[in-house]
Amino acid sequence: MKIIGAPRRRVDGRAKVTGQTRFADDLMLPRMVHCKLLRSTIPHARVVRVDVSRALAHPGVHLVLTGRDFPVSYGILPVSQDEHALAIDRVRFVGDPVAAVVARDELTAFEALDLIDVEYEPLRTFSDPEESLACPEPRIHEYGDAGNIHKLVSLRFGDVDQAFADADRVFEDTFFYQGNTHLPIEQHAAVAARDPDGKLVLWSSTQTPHYVHRALAKALAMPAAHIRVIATPNGGGFGGKSDPFNHEVVVAKAALLLDRPVKICLTREEVFHCHRGRHPVLMQFKTGVKRDGTITGMHVMTLLDGGAYGSYGVASTFYTGALQTVTYHIPAYHFQGCRVFTNKPPCGPKRGHGTPQSRFGQEIQLDKIAEGLSIDPAELRLRIVEQPDTLTANYLRVGTIGLAECIRRVTHIADWANTFGKLPLGRGVGLACSSYLSGAGLAIYWNDMPHSGVQLKLDRSGGVTAFCGATEIGQGSDDVLVGCVAEVLGIEPIDIRAVTGDTDLTPVDLGSYSSRVTLMMGNAAIQAAERARDLLAGAVSRKLTVPKDRLVFADRRVFDAGDPAAGVSFAEAVCLAETMHGTIGTTGSYTPPRSAARFKGGGVGPSPTYSYSAAIVEVDVDVSSGWIHVPRVWIAHDIGRSLNPTLVRGQVEGSVYMAVGEALMEEQIFRRLPARLSHALVHKFPSMLEYKSPTTLDMPEVITELVENPDPRGPFGAKEVGQGPLLPVMPAVANAVYDAIGVRIDEVPITPEKILRALDAKAAGKAPRVGPARFPDISWPEPLDVPPPWKSGDGKAEVRSRKSEVGSERSEVVGTDAGARRLQPSGDRS
């Protein structure tokens, strides 16, 4: 292979470094006007009255919109259609949009916002999940599992009680993972316009143009065929641009009404309000082990602070309990998850979606188990690593698994044997592992169609255009598309033009989320390219009178493997094929394999294959001040195969960067004022200055090892790398702190202040730990019992639970309804 596996400059690199990439906010159209949103200043209230007359009369204002202009709700998940572009009668957090002004420029629109009179009737606010659990009224939403509980889940795979009874030791630990946000450099921006034939076009910095397309059609009650969504290159997404957003719907409507292009570019404060970031999660892990480290069973409880809307929250909830089983063998497993609504910006998917929180708990607990059993933490993990080609207790199919190799490689390069437990006070190393999906096995909405499609157009010049709905969010998806096609057709990346993320021009790809693009689009691209190669080979074979299977596509030529001098140029091959077949165009598509999970809730977690990572973090802690510094991170990642190692290493380093921020400083937190004076509930510091995220000076040295063991399910054997390498770093930091100074910080961020508090506790003879004391009582529903594969399970829930299953069959789609519909033969349920 010539392209695949060789470090290359990414295809969009030149445009990016020379400033030629056009982001959404760079778009300037003739007659364009500007939009600003008036956002609620009250955390929870009934909207009694909105008077826009003064704003409308302001010079330069073209249009003012309110909730009445948007009667139809939308939301990313079919089960959570709880958002309106502008509030109709209720605001649910400070930042919830109430009205929109469209004016000749941003300053005029901003000034007019202050002329809109809104009368609110404040309602009781909920800032903490335990308040939402304790107090069902007033309900933040009129739907959900109970009161202010959005979602309750209980899935049980095998007899966990018996597993604990069979264990030599049972460990029980509580952890807290603070919420944090994506912090893309580019704020969300969108431009909407009518095209010359009157149809709607929306350019937006979105990761999911296909889902935005569907949401717009619904919210605007317009035929989807008359809407074109173009995803502009994103200046970073990390999950924060995966929902359809208020501002997109608003500018679309405004452009239709005004028949003028309308632009909006959010402020950084508004990006913090859009959020959809990491859920704060309180969690409890109970794990039974044998003396040799073998896990007998695990029980996990999670409580998610969802914020004010559903977003991806139902999926996030399932994800906090989904991937525990794919790293280490767990014969019996019980997961209970609960998501509540609060009056804060909605949480959703951030890099790792729902899994970093529980991975944090799991990997710290393993460190405690290793210590309790006097087994080296690396050795313990090596003993219990899951086997390849295994169906886990919760019916996830593990394909290739390079975790053991990752552990061996990372302990070798970090000299673990000579450092762990052997460094002087204040210095320490910690190890943790993780796994992540290479694409979610199910779409957001129920359907059996492909998840990614690629079309190729071959030109007589030898140039190829590759069309795909995938979205370039900085991760390098255009480069993967071009690389795969170039490799199969034996041409250079520069010969290929990628046209991506445009619902009019490109076949559907579900979007840049769940680490799905490389695997799914890559496979679709290979299929399309192989079909094109086949057409060309047929024509060249006739011309050269060489059998098709002897032809080689390389160096922009098609030639006889046995006589390389005998051949034609690639352009000539295209001409020959066009002469023979007519215009040359091919398609390819990818549909993930069916999951083995056939129970309600089994739709979250399945993936064509999983990536694995192992990280060792070194910390330096000052015991007097608690000051913590991370000088070095070693990380090994099971990538299957690197399509472009430059991009792979970039993703690993980017993940480590983001992880160090989450581990040490990032906090999406809120402030309440004294209740007798104010009912304010505001984001503590919605700015890039005061929301602390590392700078380049705070970035540790990163030593990356790529473990390459091609997975037959991936394109050329590739698995994901965009999210997985983030996951092990946070628990490894916590484990390293323990190695350095003997205190446990069972929550993130791990701040100097917490370290000092733990050291004080240690000095006072108390438990040397900072972390949550307890997990609250939650009235969990009856568990859905699914016997694991080794208990002759077939992936279905036991009959006892079937009644409740049928009752809510249509009520959920993420991985639940979709999973059930797809995986249960129709006759099975009646």
Residues of this chain that bind other proteins (CB under 8 A): 39, 41-42, 94, 105-107, 110, 187, 265, 267, 269, 620, 622, 624-627, 629, 665, 671, 673-674, 677-678, 680, 682-687, 689-690, 692, 694-698, 751-753, 756
Least gap, CB of 300 to other proteins (angstroms) = 31
d(CA 563, CA 154): 64
Q: Of all residues in the chain, what percent are helix, strand and coil, respectively (each to 5)? A: 30, 25, 45
d(CA 395, CA 470): 29
670-672 and 681-683 strand pairing: antiparallel
Least gap, CB of 150 to other proteins (angstroms) = 25
Q: In this complex, which beta carbon is closest to other proteins, that of residue 3 or of residue 109?
A: 109
Least gap, CB of 490 to other proteins (angstroms) = 46
The backbone region for 626, taken as left when phi is positive above 0, alpha when psi lies in -120 to 50, beta otherwise, is left
Give the SS3 label for residue 574.
helix
Give the SS3 label for residue 395.
coil
Q: In this complex, which beta carbon is closest to other proteins, that of residue 387 or of residue 696?
A: 696
Cα angle, residue 212 at apex, residues 208 and 215 outer, rounded to 5°: 145
Q: In this complex, which beta carbon is closest to other proteins, that of residue 272 or of residue 513?
A: 272
* Residues 430 and 619 sit within 8 Å (Cβ to Cβ): yes
Q: In this complex, which beta carbon is closest to other proteins, that of residue 187 or of residue 642?
A: 187
Q: In this complex, which beta carbon is closest to other proteins, that of residue 126 or of residue 612?
A: 126
In this structure, what token pair is assigned to residue 574? 């295209």
Q: In this complex, which beta carbon is closest to other proteins, that of residue 565 or of residue 675?
A: 675
Least gap, CB of 189 to other proteins (angstroms) = 9
Least gap, CB of 639 to other proteins (angstroms) = 31
Residue 672: beta bridge partners?
A: 681
Q: In this complex, which beta carbon is closest to other proteins, that of residue 67 or of residue 95?
A: 95
Least gap, CB of 787 to other proteins (angstroms) = 49
What does residue 98 show for φ and ψ, rounded to 5 degrees? -115, -40
Least gap, CB of 691 to other proteins (angstroms) = 10
Tokens 């979250």 correspond to 604
d(CA 561, CA 567): 9
Q: In this complex, which beta carbon is closest to other proteins, that of residue 91 or of residue 466?
A: 91
Least gap, CB of 20 to other proteins (angstroms) = 21
Q: In this complex, which beta carbon is closest to other proteins, that of residue 35 or of residue 643?
A: 35
Closest CA to 559 of 490, 467, 655, 461: 490
Q: In this complex, which beta carbon is closest to other proteins, that of residue 531 or of residue 629?
A: 629
What one-character-per-residue DSSP string does 184-229 give?
-SSPPEEEEEE-TTS-EEEEE--S-HHHHHHHHHHHTT--GGGEEE
227-231 and 200-204 strand pairing: parallel
Least gap, CB of 267 to other proteins (angstroms) = 5
Least gap, CB of 808 to other proteins (angstroms) = 38
d(CA 354, CA 278): 7
Least gap, CB of 625 to other proteins (angstroms) = 5
* Residues 799 and 586 sit within 8 Å (Cβ to Cβ): no
CB atoms within 10 A of CB 445: 16
d(CA 228, CA 633): 44
Q: In this complex, which beta carbon is closest to other proteins, that of residue 464 or of residue 617?
A: 617
Per-position b or e across 759-771, b if 16+ CB within 10 A of its CB: beebeeeeebbbb
